[in-house]
Structure formats: structure tokens, C-alpha cells
Amino acid sequence: MASPAGAEPSARPRRAPFDGWRPRSLRARQLLAASLGLVAFLALAGYALDRAFIATAEDNLRQRLKAYALKYTDEIDFTRGGALIPPFDTPDPRFEMPDSGLYAEVILPNDRWGSNSTLGPVLPASPMLGPLEEAFDGPVTFRRADGSESQVYRYGVGFVWAERGPDAEFPYSIYILEDAQALNAQMRVFRGALWVYLGSAGFILLLLQMAVLRWSLRPLRRVITELTRVQGGQIDRMSERHPRELEPLTDSINAFIESERENLERQRNTLADLAHSLKTPLAVLRTQLDSGSGEASLREELDNQLKRMNGLVSYQLARAASSGHKLFSAPVPIEPHAEEIVGGLEKVYAGKRVLCEFEIDPQARFYGETGDLQELMGNLLENAFKWARSRVLLTVRPLPAAPQRRAGLYLSVEDDGPGITEENIPVVLQRGVRGDERVHGHGIGLSIVQDLIRDYRGELQVGRSEELGGAQFVVTLPQGL
């Protein structure tokens, strides 16, 4: 069915190249990559060795043919008329055997002489060379005595005969030719041995690579085994004996496991606390109903207890919402949230005209829930505004961390109020206890701060501010995974 005019055809998902055959196993991937690299290396090494052998063999052949040519130079002579006197002795017996594969030629201006081995084959024509000029070429095609084609390597050197004086000198060239079959046979033997040895070495290296790969992946198999045991409830967490490269993974898994267990425990505790808190209001209402009190009294008590239960539920829900944190959270900048919190507090405490100063490092980040950061700074700053006379100081800076780990956080809130004596610090940090009963509040703000810091595995220190003279609350959050 044709699509309506102007309608775009439905887009089909594009598949990445090689998706069809890409191996899913790390071991298979590593083995495939190592095998391809090994094959490429052996091929390049074999080619380089082959070319080096050919160059060396041809150079050796050239030197040998040159030695034959120089030997003929010493052996040959010329008559007074310029005719060549053949050598009495030859440097190799093959020069005396027809079509032996080793040939000698002397090229004269108007003549040519060849060794007995040149009888029968048709050798390629050789040019006259200049004085002391050398030439080496091949393989050059020629026809043997039986009519078959073959190839030879040819070396030539040019000389000048001048024993009768400069007016009677003439040039001549000596050529030595050798059948290429001998060199080709050497190359075949070398190449056969080369590829046998390279193939054997490649097979051994492949087996070694498989053993090394199996040994290298053993820690991953141990991680999988431990994860399976954790899922089956046989162990509580991952062990800490893992290679350095896997430590971030196992530490993250352990942190995730602990975080989930803490969340589960926290939910159970929250439900238990809520149930325990609601028992008293419900018991009061039951008692009031059973006592047969009047409608007005029952309505008043019902209103009071409902308000109390609503407050308890709101508090427990807020506590549950502010507890725990995401294990892998995006970094949250500090200064915008600090300005928002301080702006609201300045309106609430406008009559005190408290000045809040910031010393916030632009690089400082909070790795967690945005609500947790607001709850943490909000309670500490509200406590400082509540007790300060005129000044509050907020200091935030990152703490150095190990490579590939996120930085920690240092957060300090100071005020110029009366401060907290050392013996009263444990009392003030208790839930529901206020530093001064005359000051409005519920005494749970610092307890919530402690719970949040504990969730992030941080520390809270309370002391006296050296700069402002009042209380100082220092929060230190450790480096993350």
C-alpha cells in the first residue's frame, strides 16, 4: 500500500558494520585479534626474510660470477693481430661441458668467443661494455640445446687491450652466465623451510597466546563465580583479592550491595518506627472510645491525635525520602543551591540581619541526590542562622582523590554565636534535643544531617570557629568510586 503524499517512510534501524559476526565472548575477541595480528606479523616477517635471502643470494651469485670473469681475464690473451687466444685452464669444469648451465663469453669489436659450454644453447646477445664498466642482470631468457626455454643471470665487465701501444688498443668485454635454476632451487628450499618454521612458530605462539589469555581472564571468571555466589546467598560480598584493573568494578559492586542492603534495612526501620509511633495515638483513641466520653471531648481528642499522626507520617516519609542516595550520581554544583538556601533564610531571619559569606571552590561538586545536598546544607545553615549574631561563613572545597576516582568534599558552616561547649556536643547531636529549649525547633535537624552524612560514609565534626568564634560544623565526604 502506497504511503500518503508527503509522508516520510518509516526509518529502519541501522546496524553497525560486522554486527552479524562480532563475537560476544571476550576470550573469542582477544583470540581473534591476537590470531590476526600473529598471522599479519608472520606474513610480513616471512616476506622480509624472503626478500633478504633473495638479495643476499643474488649478491653472492654476482660476486661468484665476477670472480669467474676476473679469472678469465688472467687466462686469456691476444695475438699481435688482435685475435683471442683461448684460456688453457678454466676456473670451473662446467665451462668445458656443453650446455652445462655455466657459460663464458668474450665480446670483441668484430668477433665473439664462447666457452665449450656455450655450444648448443642460444644465449642472449650481450652488448660491449666500456672500460671497467660492470653489468649484472637477470634472470634473462635463453633457449637451451634441447629447444626448451630457461633463464640465466649474467655478469659482465669491460676491459681494453693496449699492450701494443695506444694506437693499437681495442675494447673487449667478458660475460659469465649461469642458469637460474640453481638459484631458484635454493630459493625453493629456503622458502619451504622458512614457512615450515614460521608456521610451527605461529602454531606454538597461538597455543601460548591461548594459555596466556586463559590465565589473564581467570580473574574475570573468579568475579563471575563470586557474583553467582552472592546471588545465591552463599557469601555476603565480593572479596578484595582482585587485580588492580578490576578493583573499581568489585568495589562498585560491593558498594552497590551494601547500599541496597542499607536501603532495605532503612525501609524496614522506617516502617517499624512509623508503626511504633502510631501505636500511642491509636491506643489513646481506643481508650477514648471505650471510656464513653462525650461527643465534644471525643471530637477534640480525635482532632489532636489525627494532627499528631499526620505529623508523624510526614516526618517519617521525609526521613525516608532524605535517607540513602544514588550510588552513581551526576555531580551537583554547590554555589547555586547555597545561594537559594541562604536567600530563603535571609527572609526568615530578616530581623537579625545576618550576613552569610561564601568561600566556595568553583571545582567543588556534590556526588549524590540534589535533595540530599539541599537537606544537608539547609539544616546546617538554618542552625547557623538561628544562633548567629550577625555573620555566617560557608566554606566548600574539593578533597584530592586517587586517579580515576571522584573527589571528596569538605563543607564547613561557621557562625559568630555563643558556640557549643565540648561537653554539650554529644547532647546536641541527639535526636529531639535542642541546644536551648527557648529556641523554636524540633531538635531533629542535626540528626537528619548525621543520617545523611552516614549514608554517604562521611564524617561530621563539631567545634568552635577560629575565625568567627561561634560554632563550626565540618562535613567531610570521602572520595567516591
What is residue 17's predicted lDDT score, i.e. its pLDDT?
A: 53
What are the tens digits of pLDDT across the range 446-480? 777 888 888 888 999 999 999 999 999 999 998 87
In this structure, is residue 78 part of a structural domain?
yes
Against a cut of 0.85, is the pTM above it?
no
In this structure, is residue 205 part of a structural domain?
yes
- Whether residues 370 and 450 fall in one domain: yes
- Whether residues 198 and 86 fall in one domain: yes
Domain boundary among 269, 287, 322: 322
Count of domains for the chain: 3
Range of the domain at 294: 259-322
- Whether residues 130 and 153 fall in one domain: yes
- Whether residues 111 and 147 fall in one domain: yes
> Is there a contact between 373 and 337 (Cβ–Cβ < 8 Å)?
yes
- Whether residues 386 and 444 fall in one domain: yes
Interatomic CA distance for residues 447 and 259, integer angstroms = 20
- Which helix (H) or strand (E) covers residue 141, if one does? strand 134-143
- Whether residues 314 and 379 fall in one domain: no
- Whether residues 192 and 157 fall in one domain: yes
- Whether residues 203 and 121 fall in one domain: yes
What are the tens digits of pLDDT across the range 262-317? 777 777 767 765 665 676 677 667 766 776 667 777 787 788 778 877 876 776 67
CATH number at residue 413: 3.30.565.10
Q: Say if residue 33's pLDDT is above 70.
A: yes
- Whether residues 349 and 377 fall in one domain: yes
Interatomic CA distance for residues 427 and 443, integer angstroms = 11
What are the tens digits of pLDDT across the range 87-104? 888 888 888 889 888 999
Domain boundary among 322, 356, 375: 322
In this structure, is residue 277 part of a structural domain?
yes
In this structure, is residue 53 part of a structural domain?
yes
In this structure, is residue 340 part of a structural domain?
yes
- Whether residues 157 and 279 fall in one domain: no
Domain boundary among 300, 322, 344: 322
> Is there a contact between 105 and 114 (Cβ–Cβ < 8 Å)?
yes
In this structure, is residue 370 part of a structural domain?
yes
DSSP state of 464: E
- Whether residues 442 and 356 fall in one domain: yes
Checking 67-75 for CB contacts under 8 A at 24+ apart, the result is 67/91, 68/92, 68/102, 68/104, 68/176, 69/155, 69/156, 69/157, 69/174, 69/175, 69/176, 70/157, 72/104, 72/106, 72/174, 72/176, 73/157, 73/159, 73/174
- Whether residues 318 and 348 fall in one domain: no
What are the tens digits of pLDDT across the range 196-253? 998 898 889 888 888 888 888 788 888 888 888 888 778 888 887 777 777 788 888 8
Handedness of CA 448, 454, 458, 459 (dihedral sign): positive
In this structure, is residue 16 part of a structural domain?
no
In this structure, is residue 307 part of a structural domain?
yes
